[in-house]
Structure formats: C-alpha cells, structure tokens
Amino acid sequence: MSQNKRMKFAGWIILLITLGMCGIFSILYSSDLSNQNQSDLSRKTSKTLFPILMYNSDIGMGYGIKGVVRNYYHANESFDTILFGSSKGEQWYKLAFSIPDFELRQGTAYPCAVDVTLEFNKRLKSNFFGRGNNSADNEWQFPKEYVRMQLVGSRAFTEQMIGEIGLVLTHTTVYDYDQNLLLASTNVVGKGEFATSCLRAQFRRDSRDSRIHPHRGWTCSLTTSIASKAIASDFEFQRYQVELTGYRQIGSSNHILAGRLWLQQQYGDAPYYDQCIIGGGWTARGFKENRFFDHAACLTSFEYRFPIYSRLGGVLFVDSGRVFHGLQAASLNNWKMDFGGGLRYYLDNFIVRFDVGTSNEGTRMFFNFGHVF
C-alpha cells in the first residue's frame, strides 16, 4: 500500500474513533435517552469471564479469555472482549462496546444506539480454492491477517422495526500467497495488502425474545454494503443480502427448533475474501473456511437445540447451500450439504459454542461464541 493510501486509511481510523466517542457521549447525555422508560432497559451490573483452552489441528493448542461486562456505569452499556492465541501463532483480539447493550435493548423502541468494534485476527493457515461451486479441494495454506474497525448507529422505530447504518474499515494482508499455487497463478484480486472502506445499511423486522439465546420469534433483514474509493477503499463493490431466521420453542421446555435462509448478491471489484462465501463455522460447518466463493450465494440451516444438564446444552444441525456466478444462474443442482452436532454452554452474557460438522469432504471442528444464527 502506498504512503498516501496509508495516510488516508489512518485518517479514517481517527475519524471512526472520533465519531464513536461523539456517539457515545451524545447518547449518555441526550435528552431522548433520559426520557426513555428506563425500566425497559435497566438491569443490574453483570460480569462474565470464561477461560479458553482448546486444541485444533490447524492452530495447535489455543488459549485465552472471553469477558463481558454489562451496565457497569449504569448507562445500559456493555464491553465485550476476546483475547486469544495459540501455540502455532494464531492471534485474535476483539473489543466491542455497545450503548445501550444489544441484549438490553432487544424488544424495545429506542431513539439511538451505538456499537463500536475493534478487531485483529491473524490466521497462519488461510485457504483458497478458486472461484465457483465446483472448485476443487486442496491443502495449500498461507498466512492472512486483518484489522477491522466498525461503527454502527441504529434506531428502533418500534419494538420490532430497526434501522442501522454504519462504517466498516478493514485492512487486510495476505502473506506468502505463492505458497498456494492456485492463488499465485490466478489473477483474482486480494493478493497482498489492501484497505476496504465500506458503508453498511440494514433494515430489519425482529420479534425475537432474545439476541443471545432466542426461544421464539423471527427476523427478516435487508442489508446493503457499499465499498468505494471515495471513502479510501482500494476496491469498489456492492453487496446485498436478504436473511430470514425463525425460532420455535417446543412446549414449555428449552427444546428449540431454529432455521435460517439467506441470499447474497455482489457486484463490482471485490477481493476474493469479501465476496459471497460458504464454508466454515458460521455458514457450512462441514467444510473448510472460505471453501466456496463467487458473486452470489444461497444458504439454509436448521438446528435442534436441547438441554443436557444445567447450563450445558446440545445441538443437531444441517446446513445446505451453494455459490453462483449470479442469482440469475441459480440452480438446484450440486448443493453442498453437511450435518453434525455440538455443545452449547449458556452463560449469563454469552454462549460458548463447539460444533463438529461432516460433509463429503471430511469432518471439521469449530470453537467460537454465540449461536451461528
């Protein structure tokens, strides 16, 4: 990246921090917030810490900590932190701040909310398989890292109608990509060091009874993301997504059926890691991370969530989807499918997740936090 682009990116970082601080203080002292029905939002201060100790063949022994502090300053705010490393050099650091906290504001009409996220992630074993639904599996891997800063403002016009607008700044570096012979030999964009600045807008109807662990309700969201060189991005593209999720409690117990459907379409000059992707712990859990990508994608997932003992629960799931060169080329042929199960450990402020998915390409294990959807 040129010195001029570095300066522009640094300027946007400073602007993001400044806007975030302005948003935070405006909410803390705005009359709109002070006039809310505080009984709808206020909760006692809560703190949750969870030590991380795990093993994965790709990253070795993983260790770290996840922590959430909610309503410490009695402003309905929350701080969410992840510090993670591994014996093979993986690094993941994340700090998120929300006011009001996303769980406390769920199901309420609020005039304004701000979410700020800072994240660094470095993977020594990143994947590239080529574009398209018929790309072949391979074992070539290489390092990739990103630094991301995100500022999102939202308003709930009613208890179920929410609008969001945000700015996402990402600096991504793909190292030693010649270790992946396929990536080195193609003209796909994204090799090297780049900045992506993206404006994001979302409108959704959300009737879930919880953001952390929904038992009932559904969501319908429309999301638009626009990256432009006018806001210091190295790329110009647009991505549109429609997502439906639904949750149904079986009887009065904690047995829950959950489903998801989303469609994505992307236009323009996006790097391969910002296109429509299926594969990994958040999409198709029986496939490697970033297994399939193209200009469009469709994905469905179903889960049966059930209690095991005390805070420990289990899940059975099936995922199915595929990528297309465009939604106009959508087909019911050659859909990728996986199935599996996992464990959930339910804490007061977040959920610990462990999944094992199986497909015709093998078995994958994923450890993370929060439900997949």
- The confidence band for 28, taking pLDDT boundaries of 50, 70 and 90, is very low
Q: Which of 157, 152, 148, 344 is closest to 258 using CA atoms? A: 344
Residue 179's pLDDT is: 87
79, 100 Cβ separation under 8 angstroms: no
CA within 13 Å, CB half, 67:
10
Residue 128's pLDDT is: 96
Residue 13's pLDDT is: 55
194 exposed, middle or buried (CB, 10 Å; 0-12, 13-18, 19+)?
A: buried
Residue 37's pLDDT is: 45
Give the tens place of pLDDT for each residue, 217-276.
999 999 999 999 999 999 999 999 999 999 999 987 899 999 999 999 999 999 999 999
Which amino acid is located at 43 in the chain?
A: R
Q: Select 3-369's CATH number: 2.40.160.50, 3.90.1150.10, 3.30.70.20, 3.40.50.300.
A: 2.40.160.50
d(CA 165, CA 199): 8
- The whole-model pTM stands at 0.87
- The confidence band for 29, taking pLDDT boundaries of 50, 70 and 90, is very low
Give the tens place of pLDDT for each residue, 343-354.
999 999 999 999
